[in-house]
Structure 1
Amino acid sequence: MSETKPWLRHYPEEVAPTYEYPKHNLARLLVDSAQRYPDRPALYFMGKTLCYREVLDASYRFANVLKELGVCQGDRVSIMLPNCPSAIIAYFGTLMIGGIVVMTNPLYMERELVHQLSDSGAEVIVTLDLLFDRVQKAKTRTLIRHIIVTSIKDYLPFPKNVLYPIKMKKDGAKLDVAYGEGVYAFKKLLRETSRIPVCVEVDADTDIALLQYTGGTTGISKGVMLTHTNLIANTYQTSNWCYRIEKGGERFLGAIPCFHVFGLTVLLNQAMLQAGMLILIPKFDIDTILDTINKMKPTIFPGAPTMYIAIINHKRVKEVDISSINVCVSGSAPLPLEVQERFEELTGGKLIEGYGLTETSPVTHANPIWGYRKIGSIGIPLPDTSAKVVDVNSGEELPIGEIGELLIKGPQVMKGYWQREHETAMTIREGWLYTGDMGRMDEEGFFSIVDRKKDLIIAGGFNIYPREIEEVLFEHPAILEATVAGVPDEYRGETVKAFVVLKPGMTLTEKELELWCRERLAAFKVPRKVEFRQSLPKTMIGKVLRRQLLEEEKKT
């Protein structure tokens, strides 16, 4: 076994190479913990604490709300919320009736929203009062029939719940919602509905729990079908990796968004499995994070490198106590060595790098937390996960140390892409998921990612697909040609750079282009750098040589 899987010799004694994973509704993670620890704190949100019994009761109520609205098993429900109690309640309530959750990024603009809602066929969306206008504008071009509106103030303690709307209106935010005609208030619905327990039986291996949108190996955003088994297995895999976790005793810092699959699995699902307290942070603000760590003493802090960089470089880091943090799993982008060393020095805890994809629920690799690890590597495959490196052309497995495409097999590998059989067949072959990432395995079974086959840009932990941005650039009347690439950035890992050729006689400033993009794209996709050029390098058939532009970039 260790010859074909050399990484197994680096497994700690406490971690088995294989496990049995429960085959049930994903919502049972909450149901089981709430039955065992009803009075333990489940969620902490800006001063308000909800115990497991309260979260379970609200989730049952939300499930019954959906039933009353005619939502059936297999129907899609979009949740467009930041980290807040309503998001967790809507998530579990949807799963309880066998619905499919569509996690929707609250930063999405109208065009992105229309694509995702239309493609998924969602008829219900749960969103914030702050986002209502955007959703309402997109609604007519989708199948959405019901909009359920919540507010940050819904779960704030007194007097914050009274002061919040006053402050937001003073800041110019629009919180007015026209209720009626398919628009409902979240808290009102919960109050007026039944609290009868509901948690339907599912075929965990085939029934979809989550549609998580990603560009995958192409630029068009596709729905990744993750089954109940996929998500339960990955929750247990990551949980077993953190074998020193104390059931009912951990505090999870919810700084990464739960609408991102990394946050969903290693934060939300794992916190519920472990009956931990999930400390929800709706927006990453470094001062809020430091104050929260100092006050709430979280023990587990999954995040992206940008978060750890922000903390270690903050002037107040020495003034606050961050020593409660025992475990941090870093994902979404490469973790610099100096960041890892400095963060561990400040906290006394462990910060390890892992790897995964939306298509794998998402975690496939991680460095051992309390064992032998290799800095600069993504670590070794998790229990029940196989990985190999193959030649891009022949598909043959490559010898140790050679660079090729990374393939993954395991219970966390997606069912496929939603309504895209051809792309599914191209991505999953004979049970192996072709990641599109180029990597190598060393003689000890540790893997490293060296490049991406696809042109995906990962900036600050967000996946950004150049083609989508390029389409927005091409719509500008002054632009003749444009291409987008990820260029190195000390803070975000990568940042978006646009290379633009203008039409003869036309003018355009960087600021004007930024405003154009901001109206059409989520803020994290807007190019941070723009280079106006006379021409773009191309192949014989006219394809822009993005790699050549990046090479030129390195030389400057």
Structure 2
Amino acid sequence: MSSAPDTTTTSDRFNGARHCLAENARLRADKVALVMAGAGSDVRTLTFGEADRAVRGIAAGLRDLGLPQGARVMIRMGNEADYVLVYFGALAAGLVALPSSPQLTPAEAAFLLENSGAAAVVVGDANPVDPASLGSCIRLGAADIAAMKAGPPIADYADTRADDPATLVYTSGTTSRPKGVLHAHRAIRGRRPMHAHWLGLSETDVMLHAGTMNWTYTLGVGITDPWACGATAVLYDGPRDPALWPSLIARHRATLFAAVPSLYRQILKYGDLTAQDLGALRHGVTAGEALSPELLAAWQAATGKPFYEALGMSEISTYVSSGPTVPVRAGSPGKPQPGRRVAILPVEGPPEPLPAGAIGLLAVHRTEPGLMLGYWNRPEEEAAVMRGDWFAGGDLASLDADGYLTFHGRNDDLMNALGYRVSPNEVEGVLAVHPEVAEVGVTELAVRPDLTVIAAFVVRTPGATVDAEALMAWCRERLAAYKCPRAVRFLDALPRTPNGKVQRKRLGQA
């Protein structure tokens, strides 16, 4: 178990938006806070002074609507600067921001509106909502936000408690509908351990993040963390071409670059790293998927730069990592960051931490300041993840004697093979190192109503001709028989979320 004294109280006054903007506006008002980079030479910037003024203007406008403290404000916009300003404007007003993906269908957006009881929704020009889904919810458009930014701002940020609700994010639930994860203002302060121990972040940095704003990985690592340290954030809203990222790193003199492992792999495949000046880049960081030892080695060989991984989840963000203070160990995302109370618990039975090397549920102590307040109107699911004083979200892991974590997949992703539980991560790891495999996802495949088998879904490397039998033979040489796939299917691409995560549940439908 990794533990440290809890030094954060939740009864003090703390506002996440003030924490990210007020001091920056006072100390470095003219410094660029946000760069929105588009195609070609299209660049728009926002200083800390401008961001602070706009956020307080939006907060005033939201208050003028008569919304009570704690009311939910859904953001249904594209990857644009106003998305960030509305997000922090809601926090500044003492409201709860609900960031959502612009790729949601109107029906999916309607579910979030209804489930959250949103009092207002901010809608981008290309992101409609069904008028029938609004009910009493107030619809705000680009013109409304522009008027708020230009109007008189609030004099100061809302005097919220650290434990007051601030953000509601929706993630996959155990049912067919997403569930809301409610975070307090303190979650922004709870991110501080990752600044030193994963990102190595300071006010002199320029953080380029490859994600879209609705994703908590982007809102956190791409915006909130740089602003909390007085650093510059760079986001890209042009066409999604992986070959562009090396030139973006060079053009904006990015010192840190953040993306999912899949994008790093695509950059190596389609981008020309040698054609760009990456001298400003200090290191890359990654999260969202497991980083393979092969990709780690390939990126470091191609750039000569360190590469740091982190493990997190919607309920707590990234809390295990390698970084400037934690040497990289291939195959492990690193160690619990100092100040985190982390343990491995048995899957069943009393919640007593297991010894080093044992596989169990990865758990975080309930006193962790970055931990969610709870699931929105899902008390039964909230109760299911609390094991005594520990939150255990379903990740299977082990901690070795040195404190390094090994991820063994999701407890609910485990496959049942002839009575044995098998992690898809283990099978994927074996297939991923085959020289003719570019990408792979593994899941159970129903071959008849009463029988499922382990199946591998493979994207071949360009020009490869490897067949299913050869790959199954490869696995038989490296895995116990019951772990080997009984079927291999070849795809042009794996199904992924908009942010690049492999969707295992869709593999059988691919």
TM class, shorter-length: 0.7 to 0.9
Match of 1:49 among 45, 48, 51: 45
Q: Which whole-Å CA distance do the structure 1 matches of 2:29 and 2:258 have between them?
A: 25
Listed as ranges, the matches of 1:268-417 within 5 Å are: 268-282=223-237, 284-360=240-316, 362-395=317-350, 396-409=352-365, 410-417=368-375
Q: Does 2:69 match 1:73?
A: yes
Partner in structure 2 of residue 433 of structure 1: 391
Q: How many residues align?
A: 435
Q: Does 2:102 match 1:106?
A: yes
Distance 1:239-1:554 versus aligned 2 partners, 3 A rule: farther
Partner in structure 2 of residue 228 of structure 1: 185
SS in 2 for 1:269: helix
Question: Does the CA contact (< 8 Å) of 1:406 and 1:435 recur in 2?
Answer: yes
Q: Does 2:119 match 1:123?
A: yes
Q: Does 2:158 match 1:195?
A: no
Match of 1:209 among 158, 166, 180: 166
Letter aligned with residue 183 of structure 2 = L
Q: Which whole-Å CA distance do the structure 2 matches of 1:354 and 1:41 have between them?
A: 27
Q: Does 2:29 match 1:35?
A: no
* TM-score of the two chains, using structure 2 as the length reference: 0.78
SS in 2 for 1:190: helix
Letter aligned with residue 50 of structure 1 = L
What per-residue deviation string (whole Å, max 9, x for no partner) do you get for residues 139-175 of structure 1? Answer: 412446333333xxxxxxxxxxxxxxxxxxxxxxxxx
What per-residue deviation string (whole Å, max 9, x for no partner) do you get for residues 104-144 of structure 1? Answer: 01111122212111111112222321123xx1x2x412446
Question: Does the CA contact (< 8 Å) of 1:537 and 1:548 recur in 2?
Answer: no
Q: Does 2:443 match 1:451?
A: no
Displacement, 1:430?
2.6
Distance 1:494-1:422 versus aligned 2 partners, 3 A rule: farther
Question: Does the CA contact (< 8 Å) of 1:334 and 1:493 recur in 2?
Answer: no
What per-residue deviation string (whole Å, max 9, x for no partner) do you get for residues 52-72 of structure 1? Answer: 111111111111111122222
CA RMSD of aligned residues (A): 2.9
Question: Does the CA contact (< 8 Å) of 2:310 and 2:318 recur in 1?
Answer: yes
Q: Which whole-Å CA distance do the structure 2 matches of 1:320 and 1:37 have between them?
A: 30
* TM-score of the two chains, using structure 1 as the length reference: 0.72
Displacement, 1:347?
3.2
Partner in structure 2 of residue 176 of structure 1: none
Percent identity over paired residues: 24
Q: Does 2:26 match 1:26?
A: no
Listed as ranges, the matches of 1:106-185 within 5 Å are: 106-132=102-128, 135=129, 137=130, 139-143=131-135, 145-150=137-142, 184-185=143-144
Displacement, 1:456?
9.6
Distance 1:194-1:32 versus aligned 2 partners, 3 A rule: same
Question: Which 5+ residue runs of structure 1 have no aligned equivalent?
Answer: 9-15, 151-183, 458-484, 501-532, 539-544
SS in 2 for 1:297: coil
Question: Which 5+ residue runs of structure 2 have no aligned equivalent?
Answer: 38-42, 416-423, 457-482, 489-510
Q: Which whole-Å CA distance do the structure 1 matches of 2:438 and 2:83 have between them?
A: 26
Partner in structure 1 of residue 493 of structure 2: none
Q: Which whole-Å CA distance do the structure 2 matches of 1:331 and 1:86 have between them?
A: 25
Displacement, 1:279?
0.9
Question: Does the CA contact (< 8 Å) of 2:209 and 2:234 recur in 1?
Answer: yes
Distance 1:536-1:374 versus aligned 2 partners, 3 A rule: same
Q: Does 2:59 match 1:63?
A: yes
Question: Does the CA contact (< 8 Å) of 2:273 and 2:303 recur in 1?
Answer: no
Match of 1:238 among 194, 198, 206: 194
Displacement, 1:553?
4.7
Displacement, 1:86?
0.4
Letter aligned with residue 145 of structure 2 = F
Partner in structure 2 of residue 527 of structure 1: none
Displacement, 1:306?
1.2
Partner in structure 1 of residue 87 of structure 2: 91
Question: Does the CA contact (< 8 Å) of 1:25 and 1:200 recur in 2?
Answer: yes
Q: Which whole-Å CA distance do the structure 1 matches of 2:439 and 2:340 have between them?
A: 27
SS in 1 for 2:69: coil
Question: Does the CA contact (< 8 Å) of 2:122 and 2:141 recur in 1?
Answer: yes
Distance 1:245-1:393 versus aligned 2 partners, 3 A rule: closer
What per-residue deviation string (whole Å, max 9, x for no partner) do you get for residues 376-421 of structure 1? Answer: 1121111221222222122443332121111112221111101122
Q: Which whole-Å CA distance do the structure 2 matches of 1:554 and 1:256 have between them?
A: 35
